[in-house]
Structure 1
């Protein structure tokens, strides 16, 4: 079944899912943040069929989330590196991780935690704050639709 393209959707969540919403893609991005760069490293980590892995990597490259570069060790291989766009996904992965830690494990928690390298301490939960610093919850926000003129201006800031 062919998936519907979400690239022209007005909702930023829908457009984002169109580029990185497949779970294999998110796991590839996770592994990229963990330092994996080569096809074989992703294959070993994920246990994914070569054809599916190849298609997901190519999609992430096509969307500008990953960039291909020659292997850093001078070999004939190539490496997949997070682009600036890909690196902006870090808070999303942390939010998914923290949601999973709090909702998908029993009281003993997961076998791993995300720590600050400088202090070796578990990072604090991600919080959404208002312009004046207040902690915001889902019922504290709304979506406002921009005028057509304002939409054009904001969409040109990609």
Structure 2
């Protein structure tokens, strides 16, 4: 289900930026061995955490269903290009999309997701350094976002 949420994020960004190329966004990895496609926005999942607010919600004693699994998915959004101004333009557009349309479509996730929210995330300089060192790459200009998702048990 996590891959489907990632794809929903990619699809959402593509749908909201239809004025740009149709293939300028892809789900990818930023690990050192991964080859980054030039002139593309890489949507990279870098952390999966339990989302605490929903975790503490209890089910009623008569409820036979388990509580939804609440996760926080953290993404780095990096545009790979040698044109630094174009990197800034593309990241600006992505930030505008996330701020103006923070709700992802649940069409492709119907029945499996109880709730889906996206928001920008601003890691500290120390967190950024640790993240990019872990990728084995130098610090790069990027946007960061998180999606809180409650997965409904089967």
Q: Pick the TM interval, shorter chain.
A: under 0.3
More RCO (CA 8 Å, sep 6+)? 2
**Larger helix percent:** 1
Scaled by the length of structure 2, what TM-score is found?
0.27
Q: TM-score, normalised by structure 1?
A: 0.26
